[in-house]
Amino acid sequence: MTTSTLTRPAPPSTGTRRSRPSGGRVLLYVTLTVLALAFLAPLLWAVSGSFKPRGDIFSVPVQVLPSHPTLENYRNLLTTQPFWAWFGVSTLVAVVATVVSVFVCAMAGFGFAKYTFRGKRLLFSVMFSSLSVPFAVILVPLFVLLVKTGLGSPWFALIVPWVAPAFGIFMMQQYIVQSVPDDVLEAARIDGCGELRTFLTIVLPLLRPSLGALAVWTFLQSYNSFLWPLVIVSDTDRATIPLGLQTLFLSENRSYDLVLAGAVLATVPTILVFLLLRKQLLEGLAAGAVKG
């Protein structure tokens, strides 16, 4: 009787020798580290300065950790200034502008992507070309238009510039072309779905990643806007956070301590929005995969 001898495959090498990083990878890491420090340094300085007495904010050498940490800056900001009014106006306007903008852009993008009508190419070209027009160029005409039509109320006027941004419409149009198959729409219509119901129940759920990315972009644009609120808002109690902090900065005694405390508190909503929509934001930025 012969016994067959099984030849076992050689075990994988357990050597601990690592390949040395290439010069390009080292240069990439160094560049990313320098950029990270450049972007994080102002944020760390602002957080540290918000807990320092005013006289220690610009002390030399710079102290990363305050030697005498205090909450007096936050206490003075919240008790002597209408910060919560600024915070409420900025947050409410940004939330409403985001919801309206996302819905309008999705609907407009759906129209450009899946419908055929006369003048579609010209209308899309005009919309796309508006991306190259700076907001400062349309600032005065937009202000005159709102005043002449009696729609110059700050609550309405602060939302108008973000209702239908060309970038959002273009982003939705591109994503719908790639992610919404025509067969799905035809099947829905054959089953008796109207156009609005098809859009709400079929198209919108498929756009969730891009809607999240657009929501983050719109919220940040509206929340951080300074030039338009500067033109449209004259009452200090109705100012947005950027406008309110600018008022503190231009005050007679240059209230750096209050400005730093307010800047730190102002970052809370943006961080929350990013954390809540982080998954949709990353999926939306990586959009390109065709579903269905």
Instruction: Output the pLDDT for position 107.
Output: 93
In a domain, 271, yes or no: yes
Which of left, alpha, beta for 66 (phi over 0: left; psi -120 to 50: alpha)? Answer: beta
Q: Same structural domain for residues 217 and 257?
A: yes
The rounded distance, in Å, linking the Cα atoms of 164 and 192 is 30
Instruction: Output the pLDDT for position 85.
Output: 92
The boundaries of the domain holding residue 214 are: 80-288
Of 16, 40, 69, the residue that ends a domain is 69
Q: Mean pLDDT in each 10-residue stretch from start to end of the chain (292 residues)? A: 48 57 84 91 89 84 82 90 91 93 93 91 90 87 86 82 88 89 88 88 87 89 90 84 88 81 91 83 62 44
Of 38, 69, 100, the residue that ends a domain is 69
Q: Same structural domain for residues 57 and 119?
A: no
Q: Same structural domain for residues 166 and 196?
A: yes
Instruction: Output the pLDDT for position 158.
Output: 87
Residues 6+ apart with CB under 8 A from 229: 158, 239, 240, 242, 243
In a domain, 61, yes or no: yes
In a domain, 148, yes or no: yes
Q: Same structural domain for residues 106 and 221?
A: yes
Tell me the pTM. 0.80
In a domain, 74, yes or no: no
Residue 253 tokens, joined: 């005694």
The rounded distance, in Å, linking the Cα atoms of 70 and 153 is 40
Cis peptide before 21 (omega within 30 of 0): no
Instruction: Output the pLDDT for position 3.
Output: 43
Total domains in the fold of the chain = 2
Q: Same structural domain for residues 52 and 90?
A: no
In a domain, 149, yes or no: yes
Q: Same structural domain for residues 46 and 84?
A: no
Residue 69 tokens, joined: 């940490």
Instruction: Output the pLDDT for position 147.
Output: 85
Q: Same structural domain for residues 176 and 85?
A: yes
Of 49, 69, 89, the residue that ends a domain is 69
Q: Same structural domain for residues 158 and 243?
A: yes
In a domain, 9, yes or no: no
Q: Same structural domain for residues 272 and 211?
A: yes
Instruction: Output the pLDDT for position 19.
Output: 66
Instruction: Output the pLDDT for position 292.
Output: 43
Instruction: Output the pLDDT for position 247.
Output: 86
Q: Same structural domain for residues 118 and 236?
A: yes
In a domain, 16, yes or no: no
In a domain, 260, yes or no: yes
For residue 208, the domain's CATH number is: 1.10.3720.10
State how far the alpha carbon of 141 is from the alpha carbons of 125, 145, 236, in Å. 21, 6, 24
Q: Same structural domain for residues 130 and 33?
A: no
Instruction: Output the pLDDT for position 291.
Output: 46
Q: Same structural domain for residues 56 and 180?
A: no
Residue burial 3-34, b: 16+ Cβ < 10 Å; e: rest: eeeeeeeeeeeeeeeeeeeeeeeeeeeeeeee
Instruction: Output the pLDDT for position 25.
Output: 85
